[in-house]
Amino acid sequence: MTRGRRRETSTGRSSRVLATCHLHSLVPPILLLASLLLPGCRAHVPVPDARNLITSGVAPGCLTLENRTGDLVCYVYVSQEPRAWGHDRLAPAEVIDPNSARHFHVGEGTWRVRAEDCSRRGVFQRDALVVGPEGVAVRLFARE
């Protein structure tokens, strides 16, 4: 039960006003709880799964993402920036359904790739995926 005192408002209704000493007594436990929970709020970084295959692609400079999981892939990030993922490469209403694929023309080079489900949980992530002259295909069989 909240402790406080009643006061009359301009409309004649009474409202409960919290005593400020109660708010101050809650601050340290709230800060402690927040400090314990915040480290767990970082983005999930998937651990590589041996069932997922990385093979040669279908076109030069092309990254093919084949979704063989039971989950929708709702966000795909492809970047060469070491500390940023950039923007989602899928259109706002676009997803990669289970048992379907999507091609991304990225060009040759080393890329950071991250795929997330609709809850923004990581499904696949590689920090150094090489796209060569023949392209590269990633077949996702399991959530990492």
Residues 26 and 69 in one domain: no
Q: What is the count of structural domains for the chain?
A: 2
What do you get for the CA distance between the two ends of the chain, in Å?
45
Q: Are residues 68 and 22 part of one domain?
A: no
Average pLDDT value for residue range 113-123: 94
DSSP state of 18: E
Q: Say what the pLDDT of residue 94 is.
A: 97
In the prediction, which pLDDT does 107 show?
94
Residue carrying structure tokens 């890329």: 111
The range of the structural domain enclosing residue 105 comes to 53-140
Residues 134 and 80 in one domain: yes
Please tell me whether residues 123 and 59 are part of one structural domain. Answer: yes
CA–CA distance, 28 with 35 (Å, rounded to integer): 11
Task: Give the CATH number, domain containing residue 103.
Answer: 2.60.40
Over residues 15-33, the pLDDT tens digits come to 434 343 444 444 455 444 4
Q: What's the pLDDT tens digit per position in 39-76?
A: 444 455 556 666 778 888 888 899 999 999 999 999 99
Residue 91 clears pLDDT 90, i.e. is over it: yes
Assign 102 a pLDDT band (cuts: 50, 70, 90): very high
